[in-house]
Structure formats: structure tokens, C-alpha cells
Structure 1
Amino acid sequence: MLDVCLALVSALECGAEGIPFARDAGVPVSVGVVFGLLAGSVLVLRRRWPIAVVLVAVAITPAQMGFLMGVVGLYTLAAAELPRRVIGALAGMSLVGTLIVTFVRVRQDMDRGDWTLGDWFLPFAAIATSLGLTAPPVLLGLYVGARRRLMESLRERADSLERELQLLAERAEERAEWARNEERTRIAREMHDVVAHRVSLMVVHAAALQAVARKDPEKAVRNAALVGDMGRQALTELREMLGVLRSSERPVSRGVPLAAVGAAAAAAASRAEVAGAAVAAVSEGPGLSALEELIGQSAAAGMVVDLSVEGEARSYPPEVEQTAYRVVQEALTNVHKHAAGAKTHVRVAHRGSEIAMQVENEPPPEPASAEAAGLPSGGNGLVGMKERVVELGGVFVSGPTEAGGFRVSAVIPAP
């Protein structure tokens, strides 16, 4: 609508200026008016073809037409996305054309005696008029064009930052989901280690208690005491893990409020940190110093087990000691489940840059199974042991021996 209104005003202006042009050119007035209307209406194309509008304005400058079209055309040309040399060339053509026409017209008026000013007025009027009709629209168009490009650049940058924040939020959510999965897996392993071992020993002692309750009351009392101790230990460890889980669910404080996308990224990152903290906290557990107590519990349950240690014992990182302990614990639990009564050998070797452990049981005196002993088996023990060892960069091997027993071996790097 703006272009149509400007073109209408330009056509009326050029049509009015076509009357004196027709008289000077010796043509019918109607021809001059129609010519002016057609020339002025070209301004409606200023956004699509600004070069054509400026050329038309320069072409009708000798007829003293199209002042509005020239000004608006130069402004549109300077604000458009065109090479600077094209803008400079067309602005120079308009400047020179306006300068020449103004110079000739003022000279003719002075020769006719209309103006009685000095000779200085002629160049002054020509230069001032040409600059006044050319420089302001060109400078204003250059400023508006530069500002428009700056705003577009800022908008593109804002869009790019928003996309980057969205990508960061997605990545943070992925990391949080990965951390949650790792946390669930780690907690599942911890629960399995605690519950499976303690409860397996409790079942073994309960069976022994049932068998000797009438024959040997003193031994039955000792077995009952052991069952109670193991149950209390299992409950204590379970309470510790549940306490860690409850503390990890506390809300994380945030500082300055972010934008919607930034807030999503911050929330996802905080969830990942909370999950990682929970995993680290749950990872705290017994170490190598508790191996003798662990083997003593199995021996109290009727298992014939011996422990041999090679090399000089030293302190290891908590995750290494706990993994070594859990491997031995789960291996002994499997012996209780699948090879009750089998003699078992536990070997621990302290080497220069690693620690190795091996649990091997001989064939049981009588073939037994977990189902026969009343101990369910989910098949997750060996998987959990392997996951623990591999996470630390170690090697885990398990399988039956040639003699009919079963062997579990693990080597964990401990620089």
C-alpha cells in the first residue's frame, strides 16, 4: 500500500510537470500529461527493480520531472542488498544529471533576467540542488540498509544460540538419562550382592538349624544367632543404600533463572549430577580388609574354604577394593547355591600394577542345584561381576574346570 500511494503521488507530480514540458517541447499537453503519469507510476516497482526506477528518474530529469521518484528511488537503491559500486554509479549518474539540468535552467533564467544575482550563484545553486536531491536519500538508505542487516544478523545469531541451547538441553537430557540408567544398574548390582549373599547364608543356616534343632540344641542356638547377625547386617546395608537414594532425591538449588531452553539444560544437567552423586555414594562398601570375615561367614555355614594371599597387601582405590570384595562374595554365594559342601579355594594376588583374585570350588560331594537347595537363581551374578570388573578396565573369566568344579577369575588394574 505504501508503494501504491507513493506511485500515485509520483504520477500526479509528473503529470502536473508534464504540462510545462509539453509546452516547451511543442507537443500536445495531453501527451505531456500521459507521459508524466506513465513515468511517475514506475515508482510502484521500487522494491523489485530499484535500478530501473533510478534510471527512469535520471532519464526524465532534463524534463524537470520525477523529483519525488528520484529521491525515493535513490533511498530504496541504497537500502537494497546491492553491490556498493552499483549504488555509487547510479547515485553519481543522478548527481551529475541533476547538476547539469540545474546549471542549464539557472543559467537560462539569469540570461532572461529573471534573476539578477552574481556569477557565484550559478555554480552554488547547481551544486546545492544536486547534492540536496542526491546525498540525503543515499545516506539515509545506506544507514537503514546497514541497520536492517545488523538486525537480521542479530536475529540469526539469536536463532543460532537458541538452537545451540536446545542441542545442549538434549545432550544434557541424554547424559541425565545415561546417568539414571547407570545408577539403576549399579543399585541393582548392589542389591543383588547384599541380598543374594546374606540371604543365601541365612537359608543355609536355617536348613542346618532345622536339621540339628532336636539333636544338638547348642548348635541350633549358634546357627540361630548367625542367622540373626546376617539378617541384621543385610538390613543395615539395605538401609544405607535406601538412605543414599532418599538423599539424592532432594531438590537441587538453582541460581539466576534461565530462559526456557537454558532452564531445561540446567535441570537435565543437575539431574545428571544428582544421579552421579548417588552412584558414587552407593559405590561405597566393604573392601579387601573384610575378606576374612566374609570367608568366616561361609565357613560358619559349613563350607570348607581356604584363603591364600600372594604379594604385599597395600591400599587401593575404594572402587577397586569393593569390586574385588564383591567378586569373591558373589563367587562364594554361587558355591552355596550350586555346589553346597564343595571345598573352595580363594586366592588373592597383589601385583605391581594390578590385583588378581580367583575363586575355585571342587566338585560337590553330591550333585546339587540351586532349585534343590531352595535358593532361586536369576543368572545375574556372573553378569554383575563382569560388569564391575570391565568398568574398571579389568578382565573377567568364569567357567567350569576340568575336574568338574567352577572357577571365577578377575584381574583389575590398580596403578
Structure 2
Amino acid sequence: MTTGRGGASELMLRLLRSTTWRSVLWVLVCVLAATMAAATFDGRRGGSAEEVSDLGLLVWLVGILLAVSVVWRRRWPHSLGVLAAVVTIAAPLDPVAGLVLLMHAVMRERSWRTAALTALVLAATWVSTWRDLQGRTHLESFWRIFSQDTTDMTPPDQGPAPWWLPPVIAVAMVAAAVATGWFRSLLAEARQEGADHQAQAHLLGDQVARQTEREQLAREVHDALGHRLSVMAIHAGALEAHSSSSTDPLARSARLVRESASQANADLRDLLATLRSPDEPTTPQQGIDAVGDLVDESVESGMPLIATVRLDDTRTLHPQVSRSVYRMVQELLTNARTHAPGHGVRLVVRASAAAGIDIETANHVSDPHRRHSRPAGGSSGHGLPGIHERVQLVEGEMYVWLDDDQVHRVAIHLPWVPAGPAAEQVASGDAR
């Protein structure tokens, strides 16, 4: 039963919102008005109530055409309104069609065209009402119906109507049409404003929900990784303290682990701050000038690495591109350390405003799955798709392949984007 009621309510709501039933209603009203106008016209000419004259039939057909034109009231309200007003003045018809078109013209726009149409419809209504009140009985005049007994087939002559009655009726009818159109226009604007506010409320609700999810994710990441990194740093510090000397390889490894854990903890806090408030600026991140530190850390950790780093005038490089280069080199070294442990790595980083930025790595792999080149985005390495995305964000190029000597090679070229307002189109690739 609930489903049936819901379906009936939805069907009723759609019918109320549909313009089809309104069009049918307005056409029927205009047809009725045209029929009464044709009948009273024959009555004023002394015709019989049982027979319709040819001229009365012609007037009725013209009224039917005006009634049908109301269907296009929303598309051409001004043009059809002018036509209806002119026809009403020229032919003995009621001004109902013109009033309906005027109402929709006011709903559509409030301009000089609407004001001119209002004056023309007022004149047509005045003429039509004056012409109708020339009849002396309700058989000859529509407005006499309100002052005579309509059951009397031979009503008495009521005499001429007061001179002021036609203009009063005309002003009242036109004012009602304009007020109705104005009210419906304000109602439509209020409905649209309400829909906009509802959409904005939904958007704010989605933002709050996403912010809540970020907060929850940040807490989970902090609880899971922050504690482990802190424990790692503590144990590495204890191992370093109990070493025999500071030059002991074990002491150097322990110090490197402790410093890496502390740096990872700091990076984690920055990432969590960005996750909680993505629109707020965070602490400065490392850029291309810190690539040398990455090389030193990798060598100290025991990684067999041969690196060539040449950086020229990096202060003029856009900070976003600078951070992206650092993250790319970091990910490339991590990728080589993870997937090819113990194998030598060759790293080349060259950056200059004239030649752009080139990053190359090469390392032997122990278990290659392919011997042919493959697209960067389709690499099986976990970090290469992320690097490829950063390269695309700064409109660079990236190539990944495995040569015949079982050497995994990565070559990246990035354009040199100078710092300043002209480089604001660089997307937030570091956040990706």
C-alpha cells in the first residue's frame, strides 16, 4: 500500500507540474469565451437564440483560432498577445485570450515590450467590454448576466450601462492578469532560489562528510604509522648509543635509520595536515636542491649508487616543479632499492633553464618480466605510475624500458617552468 500511495503521489505531483493540463484548461476557457461572445453578438444583431448566423459562426471560428494560439503562450507571448488584442478590437470577441497571453508575457519578462502589450490589451479589453455592454439583456451581453435572472427567456430591457463601467471592468481585468503574472514570476524565482540553496546545502554536506572522512583517515594513519616510526627511531637511537664507536658501520646504519624515521615522521605530519586542511598552506617541502641529500642518504644506507647531479640556477625554477623533481628522484631510488636490491644503480640529474630537466636511472634487474619497451603508465612497479602522473601534470615526457642487457631504464624530461605568475597553470601535482 505504501508503494501504491507513493506512486500515486508522484504521479499527481508530475501532473501538477506539467504544462499540458494548463494548456488544455486555458484553451477550454478561451473556447467558452469565444462561444459566449459569438452568441451575444447574434443577440445584439437581433438573431434567434436557436439559430447561429453565418457571421456569428465566423466570429466563433476566429475565437477558436485565438484559443488554440494560447498553446504557444510560453514561446511567443508578446507576438501572440498583440495579435489577440488587434483581433479582439476588430472582431466582437472577448479579451480572454489576450489577457492570458499578457499574463505569461509578464511572467517571462518585465520590459518596455510588456508595458506596450499591457496598454494594447487594456485598450482591447475596454473596447470589448464597451461593445458587450451595448446589449440591454443577458442574451445580448455577458456582463448583464450578473444583474439579470438568466432563467427568464424574455428579460426586460435594462437600458444603457453607465459610461464609467467599461473602463473600470477593463482596468480590473488587466490588473488581475498583470498581478497574476507578476506573482507567478516571483514564485518561480523563489522556487529557483530555493533549489539553488538546496544544491548549496547538499554541496556543503558533501564537503563536511569528506572532511570527516579525512579526519578519520588522518587519525588512523597517525595511530598506525606514527607509533611505529617513533618506536623505530627510539630503537635506532639506542642501537647507535650502544655502538662501540661513531665510525662503526652499524652505528652509521643506526643513525641513518633514526634520521630517516624522524624525517618520515615529519613528512607524515605534513601529509596529515594537508589531508585535514587541503586548502591551507603547509610547511615548505624539499625541492630539487635536496637531490644531493637523497644521494648521500642512499650511499650511506649501503646502496651501490653512481650519481651525476648538475643543477644550474634552480632558484628560478617553479617551486611546484622543484618539489616534483625531488619526489621523482626519491621514488626512483626507492623503486630500485625495492625491486633490485644489491644491484648497482646509475642516476643522472641535469637541470638548466636552457635545456630543461632530465632524470635518468639504470639498474640491473634479477627477474625481468619483459625484454621490450613498455609505456610508463603500465609499468608493474608500484611507484612508476605515480611518477608518470607527476610528469604528465607538468607536461613532461617519461620512458620506461628493459634493454637487451637486462637493465631497467627510466628517462624523464621535464620543461623548465620559471617561478612567477606566468606559471600558475602548473597543477597541484605534489598533492597527487
TM-score (norm 2): 0.51
Tell me the amino acid that sits aligned with residue 33 of structure 2: P
Identity %: 22
Q: Please point out which of 387, 390, 413 is paired with 1:388.
A: 390
Where 1:131 maps in the other structure, the secondary structure is coil
Paired residues of 2:95 and 2:125 also in contact (CA < 8 A): no
Q: In the superposition, relative to structure 1, how do residues 48 and 168 fare at CA in structure 2: closer, same or farther (>3 Å)?
A: farther
The residue aligned with 1:306 is 306
Paired residues of 2:252 and 2:300 also in contact (CA < 8 A): no
Q: Which has the larger radius of gyration?
A: 1
What are structure 1's unaligned runs of at least 5 residues?
Answer: 1-44, 64-73, 102-125, 249-274, 370-377
What are structure 2's unaligned runs of at least 5 residues?
Answer: 1-27, 47-92, 103-120, 141-158, 369-379, 418-432
2:129 counterpart of 1:91: yes
Q: In the superposition, relative to structure 1, how do residues 159 and 243 fare at CA in structure 2: closer, same or farther (>3 Å)?
A: closer
Paired residues of 1:287 and 1:325 also in contact (CA < 8 A): yes
Q: Please point out which of 173, 178, 182 is paired with 1:146.
A: 178
The residue aligned with 2:257 is 227
Tell me the amino acid that sits aligned with residue 220 of structure 1: L
Q: Please point out which of 50, 53, 56 is paired with 2:33.
A: 50
Paired residues of 1:61 and 1:97 also in contact (CA < 8 A): yes
| C-alpha distance in structure 2 between counterparts of 1:167 and 1:332, whole Å | 47
Q: Please point out which of 404, 413, 424 is paired with 1:411.
A: 413
- In the TM superposition, residue 381 of structure 1 has moved relative to its aligned partner by 0.6
Number of positions where the alignment pairs a residue of Structure 1 with one of Structure 2: 274
- In the TM superposition, residue 55 of structure 1 has moved relative to its aligned partner by 5.2
Tell me the amino acid that sits aligned with residue 132 of structure 1: W
The residue aligned with 1:245 is 275
Tell me the amino acid that sits aligned with residue 153 of structure 1: S
- In the TM superposition, residue 148 of structure 1 has moved relative to its aligned partner by 0.8
Q: In the superposition, relative to structure 1, how do residues 245 and 406 fare at CA in structure 2: closer, same or farther (>3 Å)?
A: same
The residue aligned with 2:334 is 333
Q: In the superposition, relative to structure 1, how do residues 352 and 342 fare at CA in structure 2: closer, same or farther (>3 Å)?
A: same
The residue aligned with 2:110 is none
Tell me the amino acid that sits aligned with residue 330 of structure 2: Q
- In the TM superposition, residue 353 of structure 1 has moved relative to its aligned partner by 6.0
The residue aligned with 1:290 is 290
Paired residues of 2:356 and 2:415 also in contact (CA < 8 A): yes
Matches within 5 A, 1:70-149: 77=96, 80-81=99-100, 84=121, 87=125, 89-97=127-135, 129-149=161-181
Paired residues of 1:348 and 1:358 also in contact (CA < 8 A): yes
Where 1:358 maps in the other structure, the secondary structure is strand
Question: RMSD in angstroms over aligned alpha carbons?
Answer: 4.7
Paired residues of 1:357 and 1:409 also in contact (CA < 8 A): yes
Where 1:136 maps in the other structure, the secondary structure is helix
Q: In the superposition, relative to structure 1, how do residues 78 and 410 fare at CA in structure 2: closer, same or farther (>3 Å)?
A: closer
Tell me the amino acid that sits aligned with residue 237 of structure 1: D
Where 2:360 maps in the other structure, the secondary structure is strand
Q: In the superposition, relative to structure 1, how do residues 238 and 311 fare at CA in structure 2: closer, same or farther (>3 Å)?
A: closer
Tell me the amino acid that sits aligned with residue 393 of structure 1: E
- In the TM superposition, residue 79 of structure 1 has moved relative to its aligned partner by 8.6
Paired residues of 1:287 and 1:322 also in contact (CA < 8 A): yes
Paired residues of 1:308 and 1:347 also in contact (CA < 8 A): yes
Tell me the amino acid that sits aligned with residue 352 of structure 1: A
Paired residues of 2:403 and 2:409 also in contact (CA < 8 A): yes
The residue aligned with 2:400 is 398
Paired residues of 2:362 and 2:408 also in contact (CA < 8 A): yes
Where 2:400 maps in the other structure, the secondary structure is strand
Q: In the superposition, relative to structure 1, how do residues 236 and 93 fare at CA in structure 2: closer, same or farther (>3 Å)?
A: same
- In the TM superposition, residue 143 of structure 1 has moved relative to its aligned partner by 0.8
- The answer to which structure, 1 or 2, has the higher relative contact order (CA under 8 A, 6+ apart) is 1
**Structure with the higher fraction of residues in helix conformation:** 1
Q: Deviations over 1:318-375 (max 9, x none)?
A: 21111101111111112212222333222222243663232323426xx379xxxxxx
| C-alpha distance in structure 1 between counterparts of 2:295 and 2:324, whole Å | 16
Q: In the superposition, relative to structure 1, how do residues 288 and 54 fare at CA in structure 2: closer, same or farther (>3 Å)?
A: same
- In the TM superposition, residue 298 of structure 1 has moved relative to its aligned partner by 0.7
Paired residues of 1:79 and 1:143 also in contact (CA < 8 A): no
Q: In the superposition, relative to structure 1, how do residues 231 and 286 fare at CA in structure 2: closer, same or farther (>3 Å)?
A: same
- In the TM superposition, residue 166 of structure 1 has moved relative to its aligned partner by 5.5
| C-alpha distance in structure 1 between counterparts of 2:126 and 2:101, whole Å | 10
- In the TM superposition, residue 58 of structure 1 has moved relative to its aligned partner by 6.1
